[in-house]
Amino acid sequence: MSAATAADREVNTMYRRWVFPSGGEAQDVIRRRVLFPRELERYAAAAGFEVVEMVGESGGTGLTGATAYTVARYTR
């Protein structure tokens, strides 16, 4: 796997199309980097947080699917 391919898998791209009541339209693109769980824990710890729990979109501890939630406690 090339470095570019690995980096592409860490970026989430969302395309949105807006239609306003006035009839006007707009489009935008949001690109955001996806953090791996251990990476998020390191950033949180460096900022003074302790990760309490990470859950996937099914509500379980397995981080699968498109959505995950992190609960953290400020410790400083």
Calculate the CA 22 to chain-centre distance. 33
More confidently predicted of 53 and 10:
53
Q: How far is CA 63 from CA 8, 12, 25, 39, 44, in A?
A: 19, 16, 36, 14, 18
Q: Is the pTM of this model over 0.75?
A: no
Backbone angles phi, psi at 30, to 5 degrees: -115, 120
Neighbours of 54 (CB within 10 A): 16
User: How large is the average pLDDT for residues 40-60?
Assistant: 90
Q: Where are the alpha helices (DSSP H) in 1-76?
A: 3-8, 37-46
More confident residue, 50 or 65: 50
